[in-house]
Structure 1
């Protein structure tokens, strides 16, 4: 099982299947363990601590899109600290 690397999967699914996959993701995030796999590969992730969530939605010319991104840093890696923004 890969602990470093990339996993990508693209396929057409029904709403019911997408809902089940999203529920599996939320369950894995809750447990702190995500294992993603298909016939081309597998990766294990351990979401913990503060997670950064980004949601984007778009509708244009009859095409719709929702992007969901969740990112976090492993505790073993140093987190880059940024100063607070300046507001004038």
Structure 2
């Protein structure tokens, strides 16, 4: 689904495909250019400057959920929201 400047994709994936998507996101943040494509829909994003990063992980009765959220404003430099550090290990 793509409407204007919105892109949405939902599916079930195996761990290998998820790792590939996450590597592509990491490469996009590194290069400053992320392109999302599905059929005839495309959205290009340019993460520059500071990026707001939210991680939410849940384990409720054996049902696991991980939400990652990234946000930024184009063309602005912002101060970091916090100096708190996060550790993620595989």
TM-score (norm 2): 0.77
Partner residue, 1:64 = 64
- How far apart in 2 are the matches of 1:8 and 1:39? 12
Alignment pair present for 1:23 and 2:12: no
**Which segments of structure 1 move beyond 6 Å, counting only runs of 4 or more?**
none
Flag structure 1 segments of 5+ consecutive residues without an equivalent.
80-88
Q: In structure 1, the residue corresponding to 2:23 is in which secondary structure?
A: helix
Task: Give the structure, 1 or 2, with the largest relative contact order (CA under 8 Å, sep 6 or more).
Answer: 1
Alpha-carbon separation, structure 2, partners of 1:37 and 1:60: 33
Q: Report the count of equivalent residues.
A: 77
CA RMSD in angstroms, aligned pairs only = 2.2
Question: Within 2, Cα distance between the matches of 1:6 and 1:44?
Answer: 10
Larger radius of gyration: 1
